[in-house]
Amino acid sequence: MLAQRLPTILPPLSPRELLDVSMISSIAGELTGGRLSDQRPFRAPHHSASMAAMVGGGHRAKPGEVSLAHNGVLFLDELPEYSPQVLDSLRQPLESGEVIIARVQHRTQYPARFQLIAAMNPCRCGMAGEPGHTCARGPRCQSDYQARVSGPLIDRIDLRVDVAAVSAMDLIQPANGESSAVIAARVANARQIQQQRYLSLGLDSFITNASCPTALVEKIAVPDQAGLQLLHSASKAMQFSARAYHRILKVARTLADLEAQDNISAKHLAEAISYRMGAERLLSA
Protein backbone atom coordinates (compact mmCIF):
# COMPACT_ATOMS: atom_id res chain seq x y z
CA MET A 1 0.00 0.00 0.00
CA LEU A 2 2.82 2.41 0.87
CA ALA A 3 4.55 1.69 -2.43
CA GLN A 4 1.36 2.34 -4.41
CA ARG A 5 0.93 5.69 -2.64
CA LEU A 6 4.44 6.88 -3.46
CA PRO A 7 3.57 8.30 -6.92
CA THR A 8 0.98 10.56 -5.27
CA ILE A 9 3.70 12.53 -3.44
CA LEU A 10 6.03 12.81 -6.44
CA PRO A 11 5.87 15.92 -8.65
CA PRO A 12 4.27 15.60 -12.11
CA LEU A 13 6.49 14.72 -15.04
CA SER A 14 8.28 17.64 -16.64
CA PRO A 15 7.83 18.05 -20.43
CA ARG A 16 11.20 16.40 -21.11
CA GLU A 17 10.44 13.51 -18.74
CA LEU A 18 7.00 13.11 -20.28
CA LEU A 19 8.55 12.83 -23.73
CA ASP A 20 10.99 10.14 -22.56
CA VAL A 21 8.25 8.13 -20.86
CA SER A 22 5.98 8.42 -23.90
CA MET A 23 8.67 7.26 -26.34
CA ILE A 24 9.47 4.19 -24.24
CA SER A 25 5.77 3.33 -23.92
CA SER A 26 5.33 3.75 -27.66
CA ILE A 27 8.25 1.41 -28.46
CA ALA A 28 6.82 -1.16 -26.06
CA GLY A 29 3.38 -0.86 -27.67
CA GLU A 30 1.75 0.39 -24.46
CA LEU A 31 0.76 3.90 -25.56
CA THR A 32 -2.96 3.21 -25.89
CA GLY A 33 -4.68 5.56 -28.30
CA GLY A 34 -1.74 7.96 -28.20
CA ARG A 35 -2.88 9.31 -24.84
CA LEU A 36 -0.23 10.89 -22.62
CA SER A 37 -0.25 11.35 -18.87
CA ASP A 38 1.87 13.49 -16.55
CA GLN A 39 1.62 10.81 -13.84
CA ARG A 40 4.88 9.05 -13.11
CA PRO A 41 5.01 5.37 -14.17
CA PHE A 42 4.36 2.71 -11.54
CA ARG A 43 5.40 -0.79 -12.59
CA ALA A 44 4.85 -3.86 -10.39
CA PRO A 45 5.92 -7.03 -12.26
CA HIS A 46 5.08 -10.43 -10.80
CA HIS A 47 7.93 -12.34 -9.15
CA SER A 48 7.79 -14.92 -11.95
CA ALA A 49 9.01 -12.28 -14.46
CA SER A 50 11.90 -13.40 -16.67
CA MET A 51 15.12 -11.47 -17.20
CA ALA A 52 13.93 -10.39 -20.68
CA ALA A 53 10.70 -9.08 -19.17
CA MET A 54 12.60 -7.18 -16.49
CA VAL A 55 15.48 -5.58 -18.41
CA GLY A 56 14.22 -5.94 -21.99
CA GLY A 57 14.91 -8.27 -24.86
CA GLY A 58 13.20 -10.44 -27.38
CA HIS A 59 13.49 -10.50 -31.18
CA ARG A 60 13.19 -6.72 -31.46
CA ALA A 61 14.79 -5.89 -28.11
CA LYS A 62 11.70 -4.30 -26.61
CA PRO A 63 12.15 -2.28 -23.39
CA GLY A 64 11.57 -4.17 -20.14
CA GLU A 65 10.06 -3.18 -16.81
CA VAL A 66 13.11 -1.17 -15.73
CA SER A 67 12.75 1.10 -18.77
CA LEU A 68 8.96 1.28 -18.57
CA ALA A 69 9.50 2.53 -14.99
CA HIS A 70 11.89 5.27 -16.20
CA ASN A 71 11.22 8.53 -14.28
CA GLY A 72 8.84 6.59 -12.05
CA VAL A 73 8.66 3.70 -9.61
CA LEU A 74 9.55 0.01 -10.01
CA PHE A 75 7.90 -1.98 -7.22
CA LEU A 76 9.07 -5.53 -6.49
CA ASP A 77 6.85 -7.28 -3.97
CA GLU A 78 8.13 -10.44 -2.25
CA LEU A 79 11.69 -9.58 -3.33
CA PRO A 80 13.39 -12.93 -2.49
CA GLU A 81 10.84 -14.79 -4.63
CA TYR A 82 12.33 -13.31 -7.82
CA SER A 83 15.00 -15.30 -9.60
CA PRO A 84 18.49 -14.36 -8.28
CA GLN A 85 19.62 -13.80 -11.89
CA VAL A 86 16.72 -11.40 -12.50
CA LEU A 87 17.50 -9.46 -9.32
CA ASP A 88 21.19 -9.17 -10.14
CA SER A 89 20.30 -7.86 -13.61
CA LEU A 90 19.02 -4.72 -11.83
CA ARG A 91 22.48 -3.80 -10.60
CA GLN A 92 23.66 -2.07 -13.78
CA PRO A 93 20.54 0.08 -14.37
CA LEU A 94 20.46 1.07 -10.69
CA GLU A 95 24.05 2.27 -11.00
CA SER A 96 24.04 3.90 -14.44
CA GLY A 97 20.39 4.77 -15.07
CA GLU A 98 20.33 2.89 -18.35
CA VAL A 99 20.15 -0.66 -19.66
CA ILE A 100 22.05 -2.07 -22.63
CA ILE A 101 20.62 -5.07 -24.49
CA ALA A 102 23.39 -6.71 -26.52
CA ARG A 103 22.59 -9.38 -29.07
CA VAL A 104 24.48 -10.88 -32.00
CA GLN A 105 22.65 -8.76 -34.57
CA HIS A 106 22.04 -5.56 -32.64
CA ARG A 107 22.85 -3.52 -29.55
CA THR A 108 20.09 -1.40 -28.00
CA GLN A 109 20.28 1.10 -25.15
CA TYR A 110 17.25 2.29 -23.16
CA PRO A 111 17.04 4.77 -20.27
CA ALA A 112 16.20 3.19 -16.92
CA ARG A 113 16.40 5.78 -14.13
CA PHE A 114 13.74 4.66 -11.69
CA GLN A 115 13.06 4.49 -7.97
CA LEU A 116 13.26 0.89 -6.80
CA ILE A 117 10.81 0.02 -4.02
CA ALA A 118 11.00 -3.54 -2.72
CA ALA A 119 9.07 -5.37 -0.03
CA MET A 120 9.75 -8.70 1.62
CA ASN A 121 8.78 -10.83 4.61
CA PRO A 122 11.51 -11.42 7.20
CA CYS A 123 11.40 -15.16 6.44
CA ARG A 124 9.56 -17.67 4.28
CA CYS A 125 6.80 -18.18 6.82
CA GLY A 126 6.51 -14.41 7.24
CA MET A 127 6.46 -14.42 11.03
CA ALA A 128 10.09 -14.12 12.13
CA GLY A 129 10.47 -11.64 14.96
CA GLU A 130 6.77 -11.60 15.80
CA PRO A 131 6.12 -11.90 19.57
CA GLY A 132 5.12 -15.43 20.59
CA HIS A 133 6.12 -16.98 17.26
CA THR A 134 8.99 -19.40 16.60
CA CYS A 135 9.81 -20.60 13.09
CA ALA A 136 9.73 -24.38 12.72
CA ARG A 137 13.07 -24.27 10.89
CA GLY A 138 14.67 -21.99 13.46
CA PRO A 139 17.02 -19.11 12.61
CA ARG A 140 17.84 -20.67 9.23
CA CYS A 141 14.33 -19.83 8.02
CA GLN A 142 15.20 -16.14 8.13
CA SER A 143 18.86 -16.30 7.10
CA ASP A 144 18.28 -18.60 4.10
CA TYR A 145 15.35 -16.55 2.85
CA GLN A 146 17.12 -13.21 3.06
CA ALA A 147 20.27 -14.67 1.48
CA ARG A 148 18.36 -15.02 -1.80
CA VAL A 149 19.01 -11.29 -2.31
CA SER A 150 22.68 -10.67 -3.10
CA GLY A 151 24.89 -8.32 -1.13
CA PRO A 152 25.79 -6.13 -4.15
CA LEU A 153 22.08 -5.48 -4.81
CA ILE A 154 21.39 -4.71 -1.14
CA ASP A 155 24.34 -2.27 -1.24
CA ARG A 156 22.46 -0.29 -3.90
CA ILE A 157 19.38 0.16 -1.71
CA ASP A 158 19.66 3.35 0.34
CA LEU A 159 16.67 3.11 2.68
CA ARG A 160 16.01 -0.15 4.56
CA VAL A 161 13.08 0.13 6.91
CA ASP A 162 11.56 -2.58 9.10
CA VAL A 163 7.79 -2.15 9.10
CA ALA A 164 5.92 -3.72 12.02
CA ALA A 165 2.72 -5.63 11.37
CA VAL A 166 -0.43 -3.51 11.56
CA SER A 167 -2.93 -4.70 14.16
CA ALA A 168 -6.69 -4.22 14.13
CA MET A 169 -6.29 -1.73 16.98
CA ASP A 170 -4.00 0.38 14.80
CA LEU A 171 -6.74 0.57 12.20
CA ILE A 172 -9.43 1.46 14.73
CA GLN A 173 -7.50 4.38 16.20
CA PRO A 174 -7.90 7.75 14.43
CA ALA A 175 -5.21 8.60 11.87
CA ASN A 176 -2.84 11.39 12.87
CA GLY A 177 -0.39 11.41 9.97
CA GLU A 178 0.21 13.99 7.28
CA SER A 179 -1.85 13.95 4.11
CA SER A 180 -0.29 13.12 0.76
CA ALA A 181 -0.91 16.70 -0.38
CA VAL A 182 1.18 18.13 2.48
CA ILE A 183 4.03 15.70 1.83
CA ALA A 184 3.83 16.30 -1.93
CA ALA A 185 4.29 20.04 -1.39
CA ARG A 186 7.41 19.42 0.69
CA VAL A 187 8.79 17.02 -1.91
CA ALA A 188 8.10 19.52 -4.72
CA ASN A 189 9.95 22.23 -2.81
CA ALA A 190 12.94 19.92 -2.24
CA ARG A 191 12.97 19.00 -5.94
CA GLN A 192 12.97 22.69 -6.85
CA ILE A 193 15.93 23.30 -4.54
CA GLN A 194 17.84 20.44 -6.14
CA GLN A 195 17.04 21.53 -9.68
CA GLN A 196 18.29 25.06 -8.98
CA ARG A 197 21.44 23.64 -7.38
CA TYR A 198 22.40 21.65 -10.47
CA LEU A 199 21.41 24.43 -12.86
CA SER A 200 23.82 26.73 -11.02
CA LEU A 201 26.54 24.11 -11.58
CA GLY A 202 25.73 23.92 -15.29
CA LEU A 203 24.23 20.42 -14.98
CA ASP A 204 20.76 20.88 -16.44
CA SER A 205 20.46 17.12 -17.13
CA PHE A 206 20.50 16.33 -13.39
CA ILE A 207 17.50 17.33 -11.30
CA THR A 208 17.80 15.13 -8.19
CA ASN A 209 20.50 14.27 -5.69
CA ALA A 210 20.14 10.59 -6.58
CA SER A 211 21.37 11.27 -10.11
CA CYS A 212 24.26 13.49 -9.02
CA PRO A 213 27.61 12.25 -10.40
CA THR A 214 29.86 10.69 -7.77
CA ALA A 215 32.60 13.21 -8.49
CA LEU A 216 30.31 16.05 -7.32
CA VAL A 217 28.74 14.44 -4.26
CA GLU A 218 31.30 15.77 -1.80
CA LYS A 219 30.91 19.24 -3.31
CA ILE A 220 27.13 19.49 -2.95
CA ALA A 221 26.92 17.53 0.33
CA VAL A 222 29.36 19.09 2.81
CA PRO A 223 28.59 18.14 6.46
CA ASP A 224 29.20 20.51 9.36
CA GLN A 225 31.95 19.68 11.84
CA ALA A 226 29.74 17.55 14.09
CA GLY A 227 28.35 15.71 11.08
CA LEU A 228 31.85 15.08 9.74
CA GLN A 229 32.92 13.57 13.07
CA LEU A 230 29.84 11.33 13.12
CA LEU A 231 30.45 10.20 9.55
CA HIS A 232 34.08 9.42 10.32
CA SER A 233 33.19 7.39 13.42
CA ALA A 234 30.36 5.50 11.70
CA SER A 235 32.49 4.76 8.64
CA LYS A 236 35.25 3.35 10.81
CA ALA A 237 32.87 1.25 12.93
CA MET A 238 30.69 -0.08 10.12
CA GLN A 239 33.25 -0.34 7.32
CA PHE A 240 31.29 1.58 4.69
CA SER A 241 32.05 0.81 1.08
CA ALA A 242 32.79 3.72 -1.25
CA ARG A 243 29.27 3.34 -2.68
CA ALA A 244 27.70 3.38 0.79
CA TYR A 245 29.68 6.51 1.75
CA HIS A 246 28.54 8.51 -1.27
CA ARG A 247 24.94 7.31 -1.04
CA ILE A 248 24.73 8.25 2.63
CA LEU A 249 25.88 11.75 1.68
CA LYS A 250 23.20 11.93 -1.03
CA VAL A 251 20.45 10.85 1.38
CA ALA A 252 21.64 13.31 4.02
CA ARG A 253 21.67 16.08 1.39
CA THR A 254 18.07 15.18 0.47
CA LEU A 255 16.97 15.16 4.11
CA ALA A 256 18.39 18.66 4.50
CA ASP A 257 16.63 19.76 1.29
CA LEU A 258 13.30 18.46 2.63
CA GLU A 259 13.81 20.80 5.59
CA ALA A 260 14.96 23.61 3.24
CA GLN A 261 18.31 23.78 5.05
CA ASP A 262 21.57 24.66 3.31
CA ASN A 263 23.82 22.82 5.75
CA ILE A 264 24.00 19.09 6.42
CA SER A 265 24.03 18.53 10.16
CA ALA A 266 24.83 15.49 12.30
CA LYS A 267 21.07 14.91 12.60
CA HIS A 268 20.72 14.45 8.84
CA LEU A 269 23.70 12.12 8.67
CA ALA A 270 22.52 10.05 11.64
CA GLU A 271 19.14 9.56 9.97
CA ALA A 272 20.74 8.65 6.62
CA ILE A 273 23.04 6.11 8.31
CA SER A 274 20.19 4.58 10.30
CA TYR A 275 18.15 4.13 7.12
CA ARG A 276 21.00 2.37 5.39
CA MET A 277 22.36 0.21 8.19
CA GLY A 278 19.21 -0.40 10.24
CA ALA A 279 18.54 1.01 13.68
CA GLU A 280 19.59 -2.14 15.56
CA ARG A 281 23.03 -2.31 13.98
CA LEU A 282 23.51 1.44 14.44
CA LEU A 283 22.76 1.17 18.18
CA SER A 284 25.01 -1.87 18.64
CA ALA A 285 27.87 0.02 17.00
> Could you give phi then psi for residue 76, rounded to 5 degrees?
-115, 105
Model pTM above 0.85: yes
Ordered DSSP codes for 121-169? -SSTTS-TT-TT---TTTHHHHHHHHTTS-HHHHTT-------PPPPHH
CA 225 vs CA 131, 229, 231, 232: distances in Å: 42, 6, 10, 11
Nearest to 226 by CA among 266, 259, 197: 266
User: Is the pLDDT score of 136 beyond 90?
Assistant: no
CA distance 18 to 71: 9
Domains of the chain: 2-172 (3.40.50.300), 180-279 (no CATH)
How do strand 107-111 and strand 98-102 relate by DSSP bridges? antiparallel
The per-residue pLDDT for range 68-77, each reduced to its tens digit, is 999 999 999 9
Q: What pLDDT is attached to residue 285?
A: 39
At 272-285, the pLDDT tens digits run 999 987 633 433 33
